[in-house]
Amino acid sequence: MERLTVRDRPVAGIHFLMNLDRLKRVTIDKREAFEAALAVQQRLSCESNFANIFMWSEVYDTYYTEINSRIVVLNLKVAALLFPFGQWFEPAQLEQHRADLSATMGIDLSWGDVPREYIETHAAALCQYYIISTTPDEDDYILSVENLAELSGRGHQNTRRLIRQFGEQVPGWRLIEITLDNSELARQFAMAQIEAERPGDFLDDESLAITRAFNNFSQLGLEGVLLISPSGEPQAFSVYSFTRPDTCNVHFEKADRQIRGAAQTIRVSLAQHLLQRAKWINLEQDLGNPGLRRSKASYMPEQLLPRYRLSKIAGTEK
């Protein structure tokens, strides 16, 4: 394993000396090991998805380590550990491993993406060590594939109207799967849409993650659909993978903002495409963005999946 020592690297405004001997970079060849550990808990969370972890690993400066047959992921940029993949640790063990890794890294780490079931099962014990928190900004939007595909009910009137408008603007549109032959077309379309959006750190990060996705498309088990005009021009696309056999996680979705209804058409068309394969679609978080929140809520999610954070109570180090 490569020995990594990083000095004076800022994380959350803190400069520190850390040693990364115990941690490794997330690489494609670890997909099978990660997915075996992730399968133990069968979670819906978008963080419980190897493709997501790998694609965003450069953005979040991601490492992992193995502890007692579990996999623990560290997102160094935000000084957070993902809840261990595999069998649950008891709260005292969980805190022991957090404290150990914090001491190794020289920074105070918290646990992120902690499942509600774990919080409810161990609430009393966890309160001895941690401040338990959550935020709506990080809730995953979980949609029923069947309900989204059918768009039944008055709550979907606006979506149906926008899809009709798209059909009027782009008559004869088609939905095709993303393959090796057209993946570069989809990638270029994605980058064009990012460039057309308001620039910012998140879009730069997303561009990096999308590039890693398309560069490793088949190795990550990614799939996708592309909405095209009769002449073959892309109008929208969606890239996804399966977090568990009945749950599709949409990693990236882009639509031409100049064409009304393109975004709604790709989303509903994806659900129709998946009708025989999946029960749930995870649209991930809205990150506190008001526009994303309105858009994702308009599809009437079956649930908003909370992810909890465990932050060490100050002054309680053992």
- Domain residue ranges in the chain: 5-135+307-312, 140-284
CA separation for the pair 23, 20 (Å, rounded): 5
Q: Which residues contact 71 (CB under 8 A, 6 or more apart)?
A: 33, 34, 37, 64, 65, 84, 85, 86
Query: What are the distances in angstroms from CA 202 to CA 120, 178, 283?
Result: 33, 25, 17
Which residue spans within 196-246 are E strands per DSSP?
A: 223-228, 234-244
Which CATH number applies to 140-284? 3.40.630.30
Look up tokens 């009437």; give the residue. 300
CA separation for the pair 246, 274 (Å, rounded): 10
Global pTM? 0.90
Which CATH number applies to 5-135+307-312? 3.40.630.30
Angle in degrees, CA 270, 252, 199, rounded to 5? 135
> Are 5-135+307-312 and 140-284 in the same CATH fold?
yes
pLDDT by 10s per residue, the chain, length 318: 333 333 333 344 333 344 556 899 999 999 999 999 999 999 999 999 999 999 999 999 999 999 999 999 999 999 999 999 999 999 999 999 999 999 999 999 999 999 999 999 999 999 999 999 999 999 999 999 999 999 988 889 999 999 999 999 999 999 999 999 999 999 999 999 998 876 665 668 999 999 999 999 999 999 999 999 999 999 999 999 999 999 999 999 999 999 999 999 999 999 999 999 999 999 999 989 998 999 999 999 999 999 999 999 976 655
